[in-house]
Structure formats: C-alpha cells, structure tokens
Amino acid sequence: MSHIVGTVQTVSPAIHLGPDAGPPTDGPDTWTLNFQHVVAPTGTKLLILHFSGASLPGNNRLEVDLGYGGADTMDVFTAANGADFWTRPVNVHAFADGKVPIRYIRDGGGPAGSVVLDKYGRGERHSGDQDVNALSNCDPFLIDSHYVEPAYDPFWFCSQPPNWENIETVAAGDLRRNVAPSVGMIIHVDKSEDQIPQIDILSTCSVTLIGPDLVITAGHCMADPDEHARSSSVIFNYQTDENGDRPGSYAPRFFKVKKVVAQHWAPGSDLIDFCLFQLDVRPGLPPIQMRHDVPGAGEQVFGLHHPNGAVKKLSIPHGQGFATVVSSDANNVRVPHSFHVSGGSSGSGLFDAAGRIVGVLADGNPCSGANAFLRYYPAASILQQVANPPVQPPASRDVMIVFDRSGSMSLPGASGRPKIDEARDAASLFVQLVRTGAGNRVGLVSFSTSPHLDFSLHNATAPNKQSLIGPAPFTGGIMAGLVADGATTIGGGLKTAAQQLPAGGANPRTVLLLTDGLQNTGPMVGDMSVQSAISGIDIDAIGYGADGDLDGNLLTSLAQAHNGRYARADSSLQLEKYFSQAFGNIFEAGLLADPEFVLAADQHRGDPFPFNVCGEERITIVVGWDNTDTTLMIEVHTPGGSVFTAGAAGTESSTGRSWTFLKVPLPHAGERAGKWQIVAFRPGGGGEFPPPAPETRYFINVIASGGPTLARVPAPVRFYTGDSINPTVFLSYGNGGGSPESAKVTVVVTRPTDAAGTLLAREGLKAPLTIGADTIPARQATLRAIAASTGKPPIAYATQSWDLAATPGGSGGAFEPDGLFGRPFDDLLKVEGEYTFHCIATYGEGCVSSRELQWTVHVEPGVDPGRTGIDLHPTGTASDGSATGTIVITPRDPYGNLVGPGRGDGLALSGGGGTTITGDPVDNGDGTYTVPAQWDPTSGPVVIVGQPDRPPVVVTTPGGGGGHGGWGGRYCWWCFLLWLLLLLMLIVLLVLWW
C-alpha cells in the first residue's frame, strides 16, 4: 500500500441498537444513537461506519445521517443489505456536536431485531507504507476552507513540485475541463501491506465513469473485488478552485458501489489490470467513451487523478500542452515520467485529444530507473476482455516428461548409483503422484543423439501408469528400459514432446524436462523449428549435476520464457524433491512446507514435523530418501490427536524404492484446520533384533490443494553479473479471490562465492571428455577434474535470507501490491553460477499457514569495459597507415572476475572507431583471447564485446596509442617506470631517515 488515508477503529465495547437491545429511546418504535467517535490525532476528515449482526425483519430499517446537503442526506439499510454492511463516508463536521445520528426503526410495532456498531473507518492524515515521509490528506468534505496538499510520495516522480495542477486551473470549455466531472475517487477499507499482522486501513484509487452507473478503475485497486466492494464509495466532485480554496457552492456526495461487474489482476501470469463496477445510484454525469483501438506512439494524451487521496489533478499542467505516448501494444500504453502520478492515482484514466479514455493506470517503474515510464492498460483490451471473458482454467493438465538418456547419465550420481537410475526413481514418483480419473494426461519422450517417443500422451489411469513405471516399487515398465548412451539433443526432445501437445486442446500444456548436460547435437533449442513447436507450452526444467555440468543459462531462459521454473539439483535427494515440487506446481496449489532431516544410523523414528492446515482441500505428504538400503513410511498426527498411516480410510498412498507419499482429502475424519504433525519412520520399528538401519537423509514435502498459490512473476530470461534482480512473487487465491491477509514473505538465496572463470583461468582448460558418445566440453571437463582431484565441489556457496516487501519499491512499481512481494537487489549477482531462490510465505490471522516456492537462475559473467584489459602486439603498418598486429583481450566482469577460458561462443568481438578485426578470435586457455586486427595508431584500438541479450560494451586502451598498454594491459611499460620511480623515492627517504 503506497498510501493510507485513514485507519479502522474498533468500537469497544460494541454498541447494540434496536428492540433486542432495550426499550425505545425516541418514541415507541425508534432507537436512537448519537455516535461519538474518537477523534484522530491529526483531525478526523470522515467516518465510514460498520454494522454487524444486523437483524432487520419485515420493514424494519436502520438510518444513518451522512451530513450531506440536498435530498440525499442518509443511508437506509434493510434486510436486503444482509447481516453486515458499511455506510458511505459521513461528514462528521456537519453535526454541531460531532455526533453521528443513527436510528433503528421498527415498522409499526412489528418484529424485533437489532444491529451492532462494532467498528468504523476514520479518515485522517497518515504516513505511507512506501515512504514514511509521505503524508496523505484525503479531505473530500473540504473541512478546511483552504485545502492543505499532502506530502506526496515521490516514488513515481523525481522533480519537485509534482508536475500536475488543480483541474479548475484549466479554462472553462477546454476539453480537459469537460472530461473532469466524470473522473472520481473511490475509497474503501483495505489492508496495510507493511505491518504484520496487517491492519485495516482506508485506501483510495482514481476512477472514471464510462456508463450511466458503470465505473472503471484498475484491477489491483479492487484486488479482493467482492470484499472491497462492500465498503466502497465513489465521489466525483472532490475538487477545489484553482487556488486550492473550497468553492462556495461545494456540495460533496458519495455514491455506494453496488457490485463488481468484471475484474482481472494476476501479475504473476499476465499484464491485464482492470475493474468494472456498478454504482447503486446513477450520478447523472456524462459517461466517457472508451476508445476501441490502442493509441500509437506520439499521440497526445492527458490524465486526471486523485494522488494520495488529494483533490482532482490534471497531468500534465495545461500550460505545457499534452503529454505524448511513448509506445503501445495490446497490454501497454506507456507515457514518460514527466507525466507525474502518485499513490492513489492508480486506476485513473488516460485520455486522448478527443476526450476518450484510452487506458487505466496499472503500474510504473521508479522515476530514476532505466526505461522509466508509466503503464496504462488499454481500454481497447478491456473491451475485448469484457466481451470475451477468459475461460477459467480446468483442473486437469497434459504433461509430457522429456527425459535425458545421453551417455553422461551412466555416470555415478550423488548416491553412488548411476544417474539414470536416480532419475528413473524421481520420474516414477512424479508419474505416480498424478491424480487418476481427473482428466490428466501424461506421456514420455527420451533423448540422446536423437529423440524417441516412448509413451504417447495418454490418460493418467492406473494401467497406463503401470505401462510407464511398472507396479510397486515402480522401477519397471517403459521407464526401466531407458539406456544411457549417445549425445544430447535437448531441442529434439522438446520438439518431439510438443508434437504430442497440439494447441487448442482442452487441457493446459506442460513439458517437464530433465537433463544432466549440455546440448551437443541438433536440433538445438534455439532452432526455429523447435521454438515454433514449443510456443505456448509451459516448461519446467530440472537440471541434475554439479557446477558446470549444465547449461544453466539455457535452462534459465527456457523456463522463464515459458512460464515455468528451472531448478538445479546437485544430489539424488534434491532431484526427487524437485520432481515432487513440480507435481505441486503443475497440478496443485503448490508447496506448503519443505524441510530436510537426517535419520541417524539405527534411529527408527524422526522428530515430528509440525505444519498448519487452514483452508486447504487436500494435502499430499511426500517423503523421499537418499539411501535405497532402507525404507521410510509416514505417520500423521491430526490437530485432535488422532494418528494414522498409509491405508487409513479415505487416503491414497504409494511407496517406491526411494520415496513414499500419502494423499489426505480434507476434512479427514472431521478434522481440517489446526496443527498437524508428520513423523517419518522405518517400518518394523526397533524390537530385540532390529534390521540394520543406515544413516539416511530425507525430505518432507507437504503439497497443498486449495487455498492460495505462490507464483513467480515473470522475469528477464538472462542475467549477468552486475545486473539488478528482483525475485518478485505473487500470493493469491486466483480467479479474483484476492490475496491472503497478514502475509509475509522471506527469500533465502543460495549463491556461489567463487567465480568459475577465474578458477578455470588459473587451472587452464583440460581436454573435452567423451562418455558413451556424449561429449563434455573443456570447461565442464576441467571443473569435473578439479572436483575429482580435491575431493570437494570446485565452487563454494553461501546462504542468506531477506524479507520481501509488499510496497511499490519491492514489487517494481505496482501502485497497490496486494499480494505482490519483492525486493530489488543491485549487488547480489557478484559471480557467475547458479543462484537458488527459496521463497517462504506465511499468511492468515488465527490460522497461519504457508506456501513455499523454489527456482534457480543462472548468471553469466557480464563483461565490464572498465575492468577488461587490452594488450597490443603491433607487427607492422598497413598501406593506409593503420597499425597491424594482434589484440589480446582479458574480459572481466564489474567485480574483476575473469570471464575465463572456453567462452568464445558467448563473446562476439568486433572492431569500432577505426579498428577492424581481421580474423577469428583464439582462446588462449588462460582467460585471454587473441584477435588479429588493424587499428588507428593515433587513437588506439577499439574492441566491441557483445553478449546475448545484453547491450555491447566498448573496450579501449586508456590514452590510445599504438604500443603495448592500457591500465588493463599486461605490458604497460610506462606504468612500470612510474612504479620504479616511486620505489627509488621510497628508498631515498628511508636512507635519509636512517
């Protein structure tokens, strides 16, 4: 929440009013209460009263005076309003004693009844969540004759004062003045995002009337549409004169929101952001026409809004003319940050030169960031959404498993067994977890030198599963016949699987990819035929291997471009865990808990693991272990103290060679909410002569069905060292259900601390390695050799945790995060390698539950021109006078880490500024690259270094010239002379001192 315009106060004790609460106080059938509230420290601007437990039988009614002028002076509630409701905002200053008149009226001695006044919203000046120095002033009744401007949150603008003006400054008859009466402000009860537990507050957004009683705003303004609508009211004439004074004829009036007609906001999956709602009464104002096409770049536009709950503003001031559209498409209309807005401007309209609304304000980058602009969701796209509402996604899915059976899969894995055996166990767990009889379909493609369709897409029935993985312990079937041999065509495997997932089917489509190496034979993932085939298909990728075994860059970009997650497993236990979590992410609401434990040798029972169940419909408990010489089982303790294991009535269970799971529909035996516990144990127990029990590492996954989901917001497909990264997640009930209350999210980052490029430059590249016709490149072969010689992984890792924030700064510019959590890190990606993000969300009041989500991002070393060295080796002079010779370039990243050897395919070297590269680069194997070139001897060589999905950088020698040199070079003769002179001076000083 970027702005708060009031708080919600509890009436203590709650006040009962009506026949059931005592005798009449004002005549035979009237119960009157003159309610006195607690005045805000900064002065009360308005009140919104809440009544609960309402009983209004027959024609009984509740009347609340609002303090408005004219005929609309009160709210009247009857049985049609339900058991609890909110009033419109009350002008408490309209009553001489500040007491709000409330009357319960029984109809002619009819049935009894009562209501309870239990809380009220109190409008007041308040600091913001995003900027504590911001101070709102939502004063729609203009209590002070001269309006006091808020201290605005400047997150979305840099220059002061903000670049807007009061709308009354514009001359009558101006187009912008004509549109303004139909622009308003909505106020409702919301949750403060920065306090745990969250507190109820008052919040505002901006709106536009587009029909006689139909209003449009942003979807994030009504993130929990049904709940927010209950307390919402809209005012259209909240404005001062040009000097900020209250107009003499000012008569403010709020209109109650009747219902939400259509709403969409799901930042974890798309950019759609709008809400249409209906007012209880038509305001009698001219509706604004919605534009049916998207405005083009350069078109003139303006905005009208209520920043931080302030009086109506025009952006940009009319004296500056109109703003212009920067760019646009079906999801975005972008305007520059000279177009100022602030918290409370959310949902405001962007209008064209004909006075039509072309979009609603959705979000914006910080004003000082790169590509800073504001984003409006187009009106044309809203019209299409309303005319063709999206079909709710089905509960079932089509999934093709794409399984690597290349030669490297024959190598021993972390458990000592061949990697292909460990992978079969993990894949069999996934297959067996897929629910039968729910419309799900599963298939299998394996690949080595070429792909093979092993099992076409079939319904997930028990017989089909058995064909795939055999009967218990699920180590047979087609999966058992996969043999590790040959090269690696990841692209071929994906393309073959995609052919089983044609577009237009009833189920969403997913590929679950497992690989342990780098693609080395076609078709490659980047081939057009592969990219075309996998278009529109979600892809989750699991990489199994140590540092350097995988093309983490490829797997990161593949998953992020296809709405999925990449996870790197460096042990058989993690491999099994990630297949379990893939099931939860693809088919269920995700992961509720994810601990790991060690069962000591001869220990037969693990410690109980507690977790909370709140609104879930089903839990799936998965236990996996790393030692196949033992077996584990699951014991469940319910909140009421009951204990059950596999085979309990109503549950479903399976056990494989290294895993077991138990599915529990909820409620189970009448129990749902509360603290549950899981105990992993070895079957057979202790006894006088227990079987041998080796030390065993194991994990527990609790997978939830029902309740909220924790999803990752789409991110760039490629990262480099020195880049900023924001691990933004979205916690939501989905389908317009809003986000959970009192949510908090922590991220645990596991990151490399050693730069592989520097390590490889020091060691020197080894020869490539061939295993069963599968070629392992030199970089990866060298890292393997280092691990073998040292007996430990070549790269060390560190772990650190941070809290994520539900603020615009944390969520990347969202005005009302409401379920969005993030934190920009500008200095996290310091070395190349695999960064694993583990987000843990807790939520709820009373019953506190959780969700977890993990993913891996590969980071490449980003070449930095200031750190990269150039050495020159002139050999002659060309006919045109240019110097000829070779350039030795030593690429380094912003932190001084060497990019390292074996990177020739990821570095595009070209000349610039009088420099021509005359041949192919040569990898010297020590982190340097030599290129033949000719250059201008007066200015020195200029080398342009390009890397994929990154702007090229220009590397030069300081001072130019044609000799060996540059501060970054290895042959700086004058640098040597300088240091020699300094050394001689130091010796002289020491002699004199002595």
Number of neighbours of residue 866 by Cβ within 10 angstroms: 12
| Residue 771 backbone phi and psi in degrees, to 5 | -130, 110
> Tell me, what DSSP letter sits at residue 847?
S
Residues in a beta bridge with 702: 593, 621
| Residue 594 backbone phi and psi in degrees, to 5 | -150, 65
pLDDT < 50: residue spans in the chain: 1-2, 196, 959-977
What does the alpha-carbon distance between residue 743 and residue 268 come to, in Å, rounded to a whole number?
16
Who's near 489: CB < 8 A, 6+ residues apart? 447, 448, 449, 450, 451, 519, 521, 522, 523, 524
Entry pTM: 0.82
pLDDT, tens digit, for every residue of 83-92? 999 999 999 9
Nearest partner of 153 among 870, 933, 813, judged by Cα: 813
Angstrom CA distances, 372 to 41, 158, 219, 273, stand at 38, 11, 22, 19
What does the alpha-carbon distance between residue 592 and residue 622 come to, in Å, rounded to a whole number?
11
What does the alpha-carbon distance between residue 868 and residue 968 come to, in Å, rounded to a whole number?
6
> Tell me, what DSSP letter sits at residue 668?
B
Number of neighbours of residue 52 by Cβ within 10 angstroms: 13
**CB of 701 closer than 8 Å to CB of 585:** no
Angstrom CA distances, 545 to 361, 550, 551, stand at 45, 7, 10
What does the alpha-carbon distance between residue 476 and residue 407 come to, in Å, rounded to a whole number?
21
Q: Which pLDDT value is given to residue 689?
A: 62
Nearest partner of 126 among 204, 61, 49, 72, judged by Cα: 204
Nearest partner of 966 among 884, 857, 868, 827, judged by Cα: 868
> Tell me, what DSSP letter sits at residue 647?
T
Nearest partner of 213 among 277, 264, 260, judged by Cα: 277
Who's near 21: CB < 8 A, 6+ residues apart? 31, 114
Is the CA virtual torsion 510, 516, 518, 524 positive or negative? negative
Q: Two tokens at 514?
A: 């497992």
What does the alpha-carbon distance between residue 220 and residue 420 come to, in Å, rounded to a whole number?
47
**CB of 745 closer than 8 Å to CB of 841:** yes
What does the alpha-carbon distance between residue 335 and residue 157 come to, in Å, rounded to a whole number?
12
If you compute the radius of gyration of the chain from its CA atoms, what whole number of angstroms results?
A: 33
Whether residue 272 is preceded by a cis peptide bond, meaning omega within 30 degrees of 0, is no
Nearest partner of 303 among 340, 343, 329, judged by Cα: 340
Helix (H, G, I), strand (E, B) or coil at 182: helix
Q: Give Dmax over CA atoms of the chain in angstroms.
A: 114
Tell me what percent of the residues of the chain surpass a pLDDT of 90.
73
Q: Two tokens at 414?
A: 């972390």
What does the alpha-carbon distance between residue 409 and residue 774 come to, in Å, rounded to a whole number?
9
The enclosing H or E element of 976 equals helix 973-993
Whether residue 502 is preceded by a cis peptide bond, meaning omega within 30 degrees of 0, is no
| Residue 477 backbone phi and psi in degrees, to 5 | 65, -160
CB neighbour burial string for 11-47, b if at least 16 within 10 angstroms, e if fewer: beeeebbbbebeeeeeeeeebebebebeebeeebbbb
Residue 396 Ramachandran class (φ > 0 left, ψ -120 to 50 alpha, else beta): beta
- Helix H, strand E, coil C: the string for 507-557 is CCEEEEEEECCCCCCCCCCCCHHHHHHHCCCEEEEEEECCCCCCCHHHHHH
What does the alpha-carbon distance between residue 715 and residue 725 come to, in Å, rounded to a whole number?
9
Residues in a beta bridge with 782: none
Is the CA virtual torsion 931, 932, 933, 938 positive or negative? positive
**In the block, which residue shows the tokens 């808990």?**
593
**CB of 712 closer than 8 Å to CB of 799:** no
CB neighbour burial string for 62-94, b if at least 16 within 10 angstroms, e if fewer: bbbbbbbeeeeebbebeeebeeebbbbbbbbee
Q: Write the DSSP assignment of 339-362 as a string of letters.
A: S---TT-TT-EEEETTS-EEEEEE
What does the alpha-carbon distance between residue 965 and residue 970 come to, in Å, rounded to a whole number?
7
What does the alpha-carbon distance between residue 871 and residue 941 come to, in Å, rounded to a whole number?
10
Q: Which pLDDT value is given to residue 267?
A: 75
Helix (H, G, I), strand (E, B) or coil at 71: coil
**CB of 366 closer than 8 Å to CB of 813:** yes
Q: Two tokens at 938?
A: 């007066």
**CB of 958 closer than 8 Å to CB of 967:** yes
**CB of 207 closer than 8 Å to CB of 17:** no
**Residue 141 burial by CB count (10 A; 0-12/13-18/19+): exposed, middle or buried?**
buried
Q: Which pLDDT value is given to residue 961?
A: 40
**CB of 578 closer than 8 Å to CB of 422:** no
